[in-house]
Chain A
Amino acid sequence: MTAPTQVAPPGTPARRRRRGRWTLDKISFMAVFLGVPLVIYLVFVISPFAQSIYYSLTDWSGFSSTMNFVGLRNFRALLSDDLFLRALRNNVILLIALPIFTLVVALIFASLVTVAGSSRGQVRGLRNSGLYRVVSFFPYVIPGIVIGLIWAQIYDPSAGLLNGILTGLGFDRFESYPWLGDERTAMAASIFAMAWGGIGFYMVLFIAAIRGIDPQYYEAMRLDGAGRFSTAIHLTLPLIRDNVQTAYIYLGIAALDGFVFMQALNPAGGPDNSTLVMGQLLFRTAFTQGKFGYATAMGVALAIVTLAFAALVFTVNRLTGADKDTGR
């Protein structure tokens, strides 16, 4: 408590702002530096967001000048629109399955790389694990549409790699199995393709987080006789939970979108619409059916689901005892 009473010695980096007068230099500087980016941002990002909330309350077709305010009618219609509910359900399946699969696999790989080395002396990772990290990250830089297309070909019933491998291994019933054309497997196959693209990224994220943990914790745990698995569950996971939360939110938002992947894997929405996502339906409703008001209502619904999801993740994380001293 003595520090605040002391006069700061010269040179102390007390946050001094230049509270200077508004010179021409400064005015022109602020106008250009803040004004130009802000105008572009407001016109192309914020204003469309705001407009779409209004359009969602109208029956606008997009190309006519007539636009009637219909209140919440679009939203009520959405609730009884089977196709929309189907797409919503598919998005929710994605929202649950994609993050869990991706995160569990990424966490396992990250743990293997960081703490699977010798248990003598310091805790250390596998030898020569750099290559795994570099290669696993590869798919993350490949455009989503390309990942989708590659996997669509891999899953191809007659010429695809997957059936080629399976029949080569003697599973003859996979000779022309349509992975994306069968309702039972279309969604799972799509989720695997999406996870293939993301696992490496989250693995790198978690490796960094685990490396940031003080090795003394691991040593203490080991002295207590804990095995690797229980160390991972009781030590690593709690200490990197903020990173897991962030990753979960990223992945959840990706799952609520899913447009690019699904468009490449199954442009028409899959067998019996089993992989149709809200983005695809929104796009179709707006740009091929010309129901812009209705389509923006879907956009608003999608935004609401996204925000609700983020809020849920934060709440759950808080209720289950997220910390205390997280200074993010």
Chain B
Amino acid sequence: MTATQTVAEPTVAPAPDRKAKDTPGERATATVAHAVLILWTIVVLVPMLWTLLSSFKTSSEIFASPFHLPATPQWINYAHAWQQAGIGRAFLNTVIVVGVGVAVVMILGAMCSYVLARFQFPGRRVIYYLMLAGLTFPAFLAIVPLFFVLKNFGLLNTLPGLTLTYVAFALPFTVFFLYAFFRTLPYEIGEAAAIDGAGEWKTFFLVMLPMARPGMASVAIFNFLGLWNQYLLPVALNTTRSNWVLAQAIASFASQAGYRTDFGMLFAAVIITIVPVLIVYIIFQRQLQGSVTAGSLK
């Protein structure tokens, strides 16, 4: 029986092989590809899981072995991180500064990009290039004078000062992204609104802004991540300990000398910092990856 089958095979082969199984070579390729990607997935996940595991250990357990499970989960690490290390306070500060910052930059960015995209007036190009400059230059160039700008306004080491700086530095990216977006909205709609008697203000808030919602959402997520991760600006401009944001509170662990650090508390602090962004990412995962695509393929 086997012999007849092997003989019969060549006559079948020329027919369209829609349902044919993958050849061994192809399966091998796919297997190698999966293996490589699984390996990378492990490289990504293991450090995070290890961090999670360590956050429930005592310092001596961490030093004993990187793999063993904690004898009893040290929930106290989280309490210590939240209170003693000031992570709780910093968390609250971050939520306030980033929350207000993103809201303000979204509204200001939408307004500015709307005007730039849909109105002709002298100086339009100049403003556009000024925005481009803000995207290009490294923030390091500005940091020293910025320190004194804030100082002169009495905003140094204050949360409003930091928020305002965040808004200013997130503005160019926001304007660029939304500029492209507002240009794609049809002009007829604005005209129809004008014929219906809507003024410029009404047209923007009641017609244009709601239409721009998908674009706004993408930019808002990017701004949220960018500002949540911001490090240089707070470290330079917001040095009062009670006003620290998460990045600073967490960085203070990095500068502490080894022996005095409570490592369990450090890992707990890291987990507290990561979890909100991971939640945001998991919720908006599609949208975020979609906008990476949209932003890069323009």
Contacts and interface: CB of A to CB of B under 8 A. Distances in A.
Given A46-B133, A257-B140, A201 B45 contact: no
Interface in A301-328: 302-303, 306-307, 310, 328
Contacts of B143: 48, 282-283, 286, 299
B81 interface: no
Contact of A150 (B51, B141, B165): B51
Interface residues of A, number: 112
Contacts of B167: 40, 44
Contacts of B137: 49, 303, 306
A140 to B, nearest CB: 8
A298 to B, nearest CB: 8
Interface stretch (B7-15, B27-35, B72-80, B211-219): B27-35
Contacts, number: 295
A135 B44 contact: yes
A321 to B, nearest CB: 21
Contact of A47 (B136, B145, B172): B145
A17 B118 CA distance: 8
A135 B267 CA distance: 21
B47 A151 contact: yes
Contacts of B114: 33
B37 A129 contact: yes
B98 to A, nearest CB: 11
A295 interface: yes
B274 A146 contact: yes
Given A13-B186, A116-B29, A141-B281, A205 B292 contact: yes
Contacts of A295: 144
Contacts of B266: 149, 153
B112 A38 contact: yes
Contacts of B175: 37
Which applies to chain B's interface (DSSP): helix, strand, loop or mixed? Answer: helix
A118 B22 contact: yes
Given A44-B165, A143-B247, A159 B62 contact: yes
Interface string A282-303: 1100110000100110111011
B168 A40 contact: yes
Interface string A178-208: 0000000000000000001001110011001
A96 interface: no
B63 A159 contact: yes
A48 B142 contact: yes
Contacts of B46: 161
B66 A41 contact: no
Interface in B281-298: 281, 285, 288-289, 292-293, 296-298
A29 interface: yes
Contacts of B43: 196
Interface string B219-232: 00000010011011
Nearest to A203: B40
B147 to A, nearest CB: 8
Nearest to A299: B141
A148 B108 contact: no
Which applies to chain A's interface (DSSP): helix, strand, loop or mixed? Answer: helix
Contact of B40 (A43, A109, A278, A286): A109
B76 to A, nearest CB: 19
A143 B115 CA distance: 33
27 contacts: A13-B188, A28-B201, A38-B112, A48-B145, A49-B133, A49-B137, A52-B144, A55-B145, A121-B18, A138-B44, A139-B44, A141-B281, A143-B246, A143-B247, A145-B247, A146-B273, A149-B266, A150-B48, A153-B263, A160-B66, A161-B46, A208-B293, A278-B140, A279-B140, A283-B143, A286-B147, A328-B298
Given A37-B111, A41-B168, 18 more contacts: A11-B188, A17-B120, A33-B112, A33-B114, A41-B130, A41-B172, A48-B144, A62-B144, A62-B148, A116-B33, A144-B229, A145-B251, A146-B274, A150-B48, A153-B266, A259-B232, A260-B231, A263-B254
- Across the A-B interface, the 6 shortest Cβ-Cβ residue pairs: A44-B168, A164-B66, A48-B142, A208-B293, A51-B145, A48-B145
Interface of A: 11, 13, 15-19, 25-26, 28-30, 32-34, 36-38, 40-49, 51-52, 55, 62, 108-109, 112-113, 116-121, 126-127, 129, 131-139, 141-146, 148-154, 158-161, 164-165, 168, 196, 199-201, 204-205, 208-209, 212, 228, 243, 246, 253, 256-257, 259-260, 263-264, 267, 278-279, 282-283, 286-287, 292, 295-296, 298-300, 302-303, 306-307, 310, 328
